Structure 1
């Protein structure tokens, strides 16, 4: 879908204030997310059918309200509205403190389930078509062993389901969480695949989740979302225990080598 279908022409009696109101509504509803670049000034003025001076006036108002930022030579972008959700010090603490990491998973489990249930209930035909396309991309990436495309399809699916929930607060908050996860702040997807082996289980979980939303089955969608996060948690607990055993085995080996070298 082109941006032309997103922005609606402005009536002559409205002008700058109406431009502001329409873009604010797109941001508030989660259609325009933080970091999203707006169309060029010329294209946007044409879509809205307002003069470029009136458009500049509207964009200035939006910038004064902290909703957009203009980067010279780059364009106008939706501002960072939810930040990074957590300060660097807290993120570093999560990396060192396992209980905090599992608190994050517990939080995400409930939000993912809530989003999936709402998406199954409220998702439009356009939402479901998008989810179906992402599932196809997910399967293609898995077949072709395209790691980058597989990861992007993973994030895209979760984001599409949250978008289909039609809950603006959930959309903005989860977008922030997904961005952190995308950067590997909370966990590395490759680690999950190492537990899974081929990544087939992850694929099957995503297909079940997406299809349940497409089918409009609220209970099944929520259950699939919970099962996916449960798998993530169980995998990391297994991984932590495996690393602990490996560390202990290495210490025993080093002690044995020391004893052999010292002749004791």
Structure 2
């Protein structure tokens, strides 16, 4: 063997890591399906040749990753894997990134603009009459929330989420919901909404009319203006 080939020391793995790896593989391969109960702790200890602490630590890791739900007094069960589950796992990291570097909030708003302008353009080609009716009902709910900033904000999120749902793409829907959640958690929503509610409602109505006419370019133009106006209301970093 050539002497200059780099070799690294072998790292001993924790027993719990081996348990995690085996259970994850069973979930990924479909041996354990959503809703299935995992083997009992005693069964895993006997079949894997590990102690109770290693099994419990492994189960806690899988629970933290969102792969299973631990039931005290009962068997742990496998969760349904979904884009929502995957993105939920990075919520804390996203919050840390934004808190540690406020400039990332501007980057997130820019990403949202690109995302939502593209979404509404695509939605215009696919939207149904029932979905248009649903959007108009959400606008009316938002109108009824005037004077209640928190309710108005939730209605706004509902409107934008419903736009995304038109595409029937769970990955896009989950990404949109996550971005909106991260943005609103890091902004003073009272400052953002106060005095601008009626403008927001009018913009939502105009976008919905463009969608009803299946005019993607007009809908995209209106969404861009809507988000550009919102951008000017936010404090800029530095």
Q: TM-score, normalised by structure 1?
A: 0.56
Among 209, 231, 234, the residue aligned to 1:233: 231
Cα distance, 1:112 vs structure 2: 0.5
Whether 1:169 aligns to 2:171 is yes
Asked whether the equivalents of residues 120 and 216 of structure 2 are also in contact (C-alpha less than 8 Å), the reply is yes
Q: CA deviation at 1:68?
A: 8.0
The superposition leaves residues 94-137 of structure 1 with CA deviations (integer Å, 9 ceiling, x where unpaired) of 23434321110111001101111111111122221211110111
Structure-1 separation of matches of 2:79 and 2:137: 27
Q: Which residue of 2 aligns with 1:17?
A: none
Distance (whole Å) between structure 1 residues aligned to residue 143 and residue 89 of structure 2? 31
Gaps of at least 5 residues in structure 1 are 1-59, 245-264
What corresponds to 2:157 in structure 1? 155
1:31 aligned residue: none
Classify 1:216/1:171 alpha carbon distance in 2 versus 1 (closer, same or farther; 3 Å). same
**Matching of residue 97 in structure 1 with residue 101 in structure 2:** yes
Query: C-alpha distance in 1, partners of 2:87/2:133?
Result: 30
The CA distance in 1 between the partners of 2:202 and 2:79, in whole Å, is: 36
Count of residue correspondences: 175
Name the CA distance, whole Å, in 2 between partners of 1:85 and 1:216: 36
Contact 1:119 1:162 (8 Å CA) reproduced? yes
Match of 1:146 among 145, 148, 154: 148
On the 8 A contact 1:212/1:220 being kept in 2, the answer is yes
Cα distance in 1 between the residues matched to 2:68 and 2:130: 27
RMSD between aligned residues: 3.4
Q: CA deviation at 1:235?
A: 1.5
- Matched with 1:222 is 220
Where does residue 120 of structure 2 map in the other structure? 116
1:62 matches 2:34: yes
Offset, 1:62: 1.7
In the alignment, structure 2 segments of 5+ residues that lack a partner are 1-31, 38-65
Q: In structure 2, the residue corresponding to 1:83 is in which secondary structure?
A: helix
Rounded to whole Å, the distance in 2 between the matches of 1:198 and 1:172 is 27
- Residue 190 in structure 1 maps to residue 194 in structure 2: no
